[in-house]
Chains A and B, each alone.
Chain A
Amino acid sequence: MVSGARAADTRLEAELRRLAGSVSDPELPVLTLEDLGVVRAVHVRGAGRVEVELTPTYTGCPAIETMSADIEQVLHEHGVAEVSVVTVLAPAWSTDDITAEGRRKLTEFGIAPPRPHAADGPVSLTLSVRCPHCGSTETELLSRFSSTACKALRRCVSCREPFDHFKEL
């Protein structure tokens, strides 16, 4: 029976993880936390008690508090009496954790998605950032820092529009 109960817990954890992952990012509402890759694990700790492991994009990201509150709320709404969201730092989040779906949504929203890292090492400099408005690869960096910690500010040389780039981390 123990293994049967464990299997039921595992199914429940998968369902709860889906719910936690469905929460929108408060600063980039076009993305869910699942798209962003910040929900690390969901553990059932007993009847009606659930622990969610959340990892911040940047150590100082102020959105993490809203994310935690939103996760608690959605799980409460689905009948979980006691939710604790814990912040985990290791392994460190990377922009490679953003899903393919997340990258597609970012582009649609007008934010150039991060480039994938090489297997071992930094982003190749030869891989250009594509303008999310006109698709041109002729873009230039205006500032490594932009409206939030996770973005850089760029400008398209072809269509002249400035745009945010989700910078590689």
Chain B
Amino acid sequence: MDTAAALALGDDALVLSHRLGEWAGHAPVLEEEVALANIALDLLGQARVLLSLVGDEDELAYLREERAFRNLQLVEQPGGDFAHTIARQLYFSGYQYLLYERLAADGGPLSGLAAKAVKEVAYHRDHAEQWTTRLGDGTQESHRRMQRACDALWRYTGEMFRPVEGLGLDAEDWVLLDAAWTARVTEVLTGATLTVPEGPRADAWSAGGGREGLHTEPFGRMLAEMQHLHRSHPGASW
């Protein structure tokens, strides 16, 4: 298994799982608390499989420094208000669904995991799309916040379609994934009475660099919280 590819996909799942877990005890309603925790659990399961392919899952999750993580900058962004969390989910689950669907079909080393995970991610995507519709086409306040969240995270979406080495996809494949993603997100946002953001996704002013280990400021704080227990009490169990 190609290490860079497993780390890229595994770190995406691990980091977003942790970010979603931060909602425990804070979600707007009990059902959402359970939903976000369930999605986090699915992602954690994917992360464990992927990281175990290339090393010890605990060492990789808890003992790497920030620069060694290969996740997208999108997934490390803080939860913000509920709209930010839903926008992050909308962008990421749409990408993850298309990527896993593609990997499941090619019979490569990740096809088993991808075929399984794509069925779980279909529920994540559905959850995000339904909330996007409700918030966008809801009250004035929910519309305003959902639009703000979609705009704020837009600059992180181009990075998702920068080629990852070792997945067996060529440049053309990534272009096709990007086009399919853009079409679907456009349809959902438009249906939710929201405006498709216009900011840069892929040029010099867009965000990106997570795959090379360059991360945004909030990521360091997140890692500190995620890793401190393991680092303070090596080998602890209960």
Contact = CB atoms under 8 A, between A and B. Distances in A.
A153 B120 contact: no
A149 B40 CA distance: 10
A92 B39 CA distance: 18
A142 to B, nearest CB: 6
B211 to A, nearest CB: 23
A143 B49 contact: no
B46 A60 contact: yes
A60 B41 contact: yes
How many B residues touch the partner, as a band? 20 to 34
Contact of B42 (A59, A142, A143): A59
A89 B39 contact: no
Given A58-B45, A153-B31, A145 B38 contact: yes
Contacts of A93: 116
Contact of B116 (A62, A89, A145, A153): A89
B105 interface: no
B188 interface: no
B119 A89 contact: no
B199 interface: no
A147 interface: yes
A149 B42 contact: yes
A19 interface: no
Contacts of A132: none
B116 A90 contact: yes
Contacts of B42: 58-60, 149
A145 to B, nearest CB: 4
B38 A59 contact: no
Given A59-B113, A59-B117, A144 B45 contact: no
A100 interface: no
Interface residues of A, number: 23
Contact of A143 (B34, B44, B113, B115): B34
A153 B38 CA distance: 13
Interface in A122-153: 142-147, 149, 153
Nearest to A87: B49
B102 interface: no
B48 A60 contact: yes
B113 A145 contact: no
Given A59-B46, A59-B49, A90 B115 contact: yes
Given A92-B119, A145-B127, A56 B34 contact: no
A169 B121 CA distance: 11
B112 interface: yes
Interface in A59-88: 59-62, 88
A141 to B, nearest CB: 10
B45 A169 contact: no
Given A90-B111, A92-B116, A145 B49 contact: no
B31 A61 contact: no
B43 interface: yes
A107 B202 CA distance: 51
A151 B68 CA distance: 36
Contact of B35 (A61, A145, A169): A145
Contacts of A61: 45
Contacts of B126: 144
Contacts of A56: 45
Contacts of A46: none
Contacts of A121: none
Most buried by A among B43, B46, B112, B123: B123
A8 to B, nearest CB: 32
Interface of A: 56, 58-62, 88-94, 142-147, 149, 153, 167, 169
